[in-house]
Chains A and B, each alone.
Chain A
């Protein structure tokens, strides 16, 4: 029992909230089927997202590692959701073992994602029966302002949408050797996400006659029952959780599902927009960074290559503006080109401004980039001995 310390409304408070709801008014001024303001923030690293839904704050963090698959699913990766209800967020959360509500939240988010096959698991397989990617999403509740499930679900989706796993290839003599490429050498790959299952929570009051969407902390303390419907933007029901509580008519449930599907479409587009702007911003950073490394390179550029690759590069440099998703797929080819010693041509394409100017800016930004991420893309481009030299000189200074 983890809810015994939970805030309990006084009789007056309870009556006030219930009376107001009877005339379609909510304590925070929303209408019954309005969500609170949703804000999605992304961390510096791929796969981390923080969701703010009113006062509720949840952080999602996706990571992956290579593991042996389950015996009954030898060619599928795994996805696991872990929840952390920190006592910081709510006095009712006890440190130590996850409580009932933490487990329920994890299971609801997990079922919504997994049973609806939202994330393609087969693409996470490296060697069938030997190595698959195990994706783990950690959900940290930072502040409990009510309706944790919806916020946590959005956090998980945002984290998974921006998550990139390292690319790996299979080779060796027996064809079983797995090489995991450093993210600096080959650009990490995004997950294949078929659809976004959005959790929409309803709270029931009275004798199941009054219902609201996205209950706040205070409304949760007063409500008689709750139902979470996980629906994607196509209107497919991915999972439903109504764990007892006040009974409702089956017609009301169908009405809830229809409302939920409208809300799910809104939230889906919100998440997609946020993710797209994040990925395109990230991709732009990468494109800007390349000139610096190229101009510092001593090797003479291969002029012939430049001529031949012009056409292809032209298309590359125009693409990013049109589609954010596309960009992240491009860089791997860029890096591979670089390895073949024709760094210069493509970079001059990417950077339309005059060379002298870019040289200046490159010199200035070089230092800061070095400080932020010592192992940047250009290190991968540079020959090994050069990196070492640089480090030496730094130590001497």
Chain B
């Protein structure tokens, strides 16, 4: 299968090789939550809700009293993929993604400012079309910002596919979570065999994607703040 048309240089869905999908971010979509967001990357659509900081519900889970406890639950809706079969709750994949999202968000949340409290992040995939992990992290960042939780930086995530750079079979996929201001990589996941220098190219491409998403997320948040300001004035 060819991912990039050799004649036109466009991909199957009409994009250029290093063009990102259409982004859409919306803040405040869950009324009861302290912070919530909807994030779309092309056909991938994810909703995130944040509760907290609130009192630790299960004291046994508290790791130490100096930092806030961050919890995360990742769920994939049964209707999110083509085949509609009921997926068991807490399968290996979603448990791992929950862990990955939690640790990625922990890296940016200033947990030491909220001792003895807990922050819950719930992410739900409504529509899956590749890059769900990245979309979840972007949605979680937006929701955390909406909840007013102090963060040291905006974490954004983007995945890059080798197929779109070189026309090779297989589907090596690199997901990067990036702290934009600090210029540091917090999340990095990759499967499939790649030579080292090719990997570097793919990672750099994903980092570029992360930077672009960070700019977009800043715009969304700024727009939201302006709207809130307007509402207060009236």
| CB of A3 to closest CB in B, whole Å | 7
A238–B193 contact, CB under 8 A? yes
B200–A254 contact, CB under 8 A? yes
| CB of B113 to closest CB in A, whole Å | 17
> For chain A, what secondary structure do more than half of its interface residues adopt (helix, strand, loop), or is it mixed?
mixed
Distance in angstroms between the alpha carbons of A163 and B69 in the assembled complex: 44
Q: Is A298 an interface residue (CB 8 A)?
A: no
A242–B193 contact, CB under 8 A? no
Q: Is A106 an interface residue (CB 8 A)?
A: yes
| CB of A211 to closest CB in B, whole Å | 13
- A residues less than 8 Å from B100 (CB atoms): 243-244
Distance in angstroms between the alpha carbons of A242 and B92 in the assembled complex: 17
B104–A243 contact, CB under 8 A? yes
- B residues less than 8 Å from A238 (CB atoms): 191-193
Distance in angstroms between the alpha carbons of A63 and B71 in the assembled complex: 37
Q: Is B8 an interface residue (CB 8 A)?
A: no
Q: Is A240 an interface residue (CB 8 A)?
A: yes
Distance in angstroms between the alpha carbons of A4 and B204 in the assembled complex: 36
Number of interface residues of B (CB under 8 A): 44
B61–A4 contact, CB under 8 A? yes
Interface flags, B86-113, vs A, CB<8A=1, else 0: 0000001101101111111111000000
Contact of B62 among A4, A115, A227, A237 (CB under 8 A): A4
A-binding segment of B12-20, B31-39, B142-150, B182-190: B182-190
Q: Is B199 an interface residue (CB 8 A)?
A: yes
B-binding segment of A245-253, A343-351, A365-373: A245-253
B203–A106 contact, CB under 8 A? no
Q: Is A144 an interface residue (CB 8 A)?
A: no
A115–B193 contact, CB under 8 A? yes
Q: Is A257 an interface residue (CB 8 A)?
A: yes
A244–B105 contact, CB under 8 A? yes
| CB of A265 to closest CB in B, whole Å | 13
Distance in angstroms between the alpha carbons of A158 and B40 in the assembled complex: 44
Interface flags, A191-211, vs B, CB<8A=1, else 0: 000000000000000001000
- A residues less than 8 Å from B196 (CB atoms): 235-237, 254, 257-258, 261
Q: A100-B99, A106-B92 are in contact. Are A115 and B107 (CB under 8 A)?
A: no
Q: Is A288 an interface residue (CB 8 A)?
A: no
| CB of B178 to closest CB in A, whole Å | 8
The 8 closest A-B pairs by CB, nearest first: A244-B103, A247-B184, A244-B104, A115-B191, A242-B188, A247-B186, A116-B193, A240-B190
| Partner-A contacts on B (CB < 8 A) | 60-64, 71, 92-93, 95-96, 98-107, 174, 177-179, 182-196, 199-200, 203-204, 207
Q: Knowing that A249-B185, A257-B196 are A-B contacts, what are 15 other residue pairs whose CB atoms are under 8 Å apart, sorted by A's residue number?
A: A4-B60, A8-B64, A116-B191, A116-B193, A225-B186, A232-B193, A236-B196, A238-B191, A240-B189, A245-B106, A247-B107, A247-B178, A250-B204, A253-B203, A258-B196
16 contacts between A and B (CB under 8 A): A1-B61, A4-B63, A100-B96, A104-B99, A111-B191, A115-B191, A235-B195, A237-B194, A242-B187, A244-B187, A245-B103, A247-B185, A249-B184, A250-B204, A253-B188, A254-B196
